[in-house]
Amino acid sequence: MYDAIFILGGSYVDENTLPEWVQSRLNAAIYNEKSAKLFVVLSRGTPHKPPPITSHGFPVDESSIMANYLIDRGVSKCKVIKESWSFDTIGNAYAALTLHTIPRNLRKLLIITSDFHMPRTKAIFNKVFSLLPLDIFDLEYLETESHLSISQKETDSLKAWIERSNTMHTLCDLHTFIFHEHNAYNTETYVHSKSNHSDMDLRMYCI
């Protein structure tokens, strides 16, 4: 039995619709429902495009669309938890650990994402969860078929993460990286437009 299944976001079509590859991730979670105590849907959105807006003018988080997908297909809302802070895979892992895993004492976890996204997801989650100075987590991974190939952006982002993460030894190191260096979260995000970011900056933005 998994303490929780974490399902990574991967963009959205509109306030009610998710891309096929995200639906596949959620369908895989539903298939494993009897093996999980909780479902945690990850992602506020993406820095690459604005969020969906309701008819009343309010933004919709990606995790809300994902949660609705699960609930509409029979998953009890009591089992579904949203993570509505992160904008990329690094943020997904950090928020999963600090907002949900540690407070709820979750140990055995299943992490679901698409095949093209899995190498980077494993590298990020394994590193982030290893930074807690306790060897208490059992991480398992499940990849879903997307019919999409691994892009050069994915390859470059993985390489950049491995190089940078080798300098991280504590959660404090990761926190400093996220809130001072990562362009999806640091204060310069609100000063410079996306067009001013270098290619290396954009590698740190993840799907």
Tally of structural domains, the chain: 1
Q: If you ran DSSP here, which 8-state letter would residue 42 be given?
A: E
Give the pair of three-digit tokens for residue 137: 């987590």
> For 86-122, how does the pLDDT look when each residue is reduced to its tens digit (9 = 90+)?
999 999 999 999 999 999 999 999 999 999 999 999 9
- The SS3 assignment for 139 reads strand
User: 39 in a domain, yes or no?
Assistant: yes
Q: Which amino acid is at 13?
A: V
How does residue 13 score in pLDDT terms, banded at 50, 70 and 90? Answer: confident
Distance, CA of 120 to CA of 117 (rounded, Å):
6
User: 145 in a domain, yes or no?
Assistant: yes
- 45, 10 in Cβ contact below 8 A? no
Distance, CA of 20 to CA of 177 (rounded, Å):
32
Which residues fall within 8 angstroms of residue 42, CB to CB, at 6 or more apart?
6, 7, 8, 9, 63, 83, 86, 92, 95, 96
Angle, CA of 29, 32 and 34, to the nearest 5° = 125
Query: What per-residue confidence (pLDDT) applies to 15?
Result: 83
Query: What per-residue confidence (pLDDT) applies to 204?
Result: 44
- The SS3 assignment for 108 reads strand
> For 60-92, how does the pLDDT look when each residue is reduced to its tens digit (9 = 90+)?
999 999 999 999 999 999 999 999 999 999 999
User: 138 in a domain, yes or no?
Assistant: yes
The CATH number given to whatever domain includes residue 108 is: 3.40.50.620
How does residue 190 score in pLDDT terms, banded at 50, 70 and 90? Answer: low
Q: Nearest-CA neighbor of 66 among 122, 27, 124? A: 27
Mean pLDDT, rounded, for 7-28: 94
User: 167 in a domain, yes or no?
Assistant: no
CB atoms < 10 A from the CB of 143, how many? 19
> For 133-149, how does the pLDDT look when each residue is reduced to its tens digit (9 = 90+)?
999 999 999 999 998 89
Q: What is the mean pLDDT of the chain?
A: 90
User: 54 in a domain, yes or no?
Assistant: yes
Query: What per-residue confidence (pLDDT) applies to 154?
Result: 94
- 18, 66 in Cβ contact below 8 A? yes
Q: If you ran DSSP here, which 8-state letter would residue 151 be given?
A: P
Domain range for residue 58? 4-150
User: 127 in a domain, yes or no?
Assistant: yes
Q: Which amino acid is at 32?
A: N
User: 139 in a domain, yes or no?
Assistant: yes
Q: Report which of residues 196 and 9 the model is more confident about.
A: 9
Query: What per-residue confidence (pLDDT) applies to 48?
Result: 85
CB atoms < 10 A from the CB of 84, how many? 16
Query: What per-residue confidence (pLDDT) applies to 49?
Result: 86
- Evaluate if residue 194 carries a pLDDT over 70: no
User: 78 in a domain, yes or no?
Assistant: yes
- Evaluate if residue 27 carries a pLDDT over 90: yes
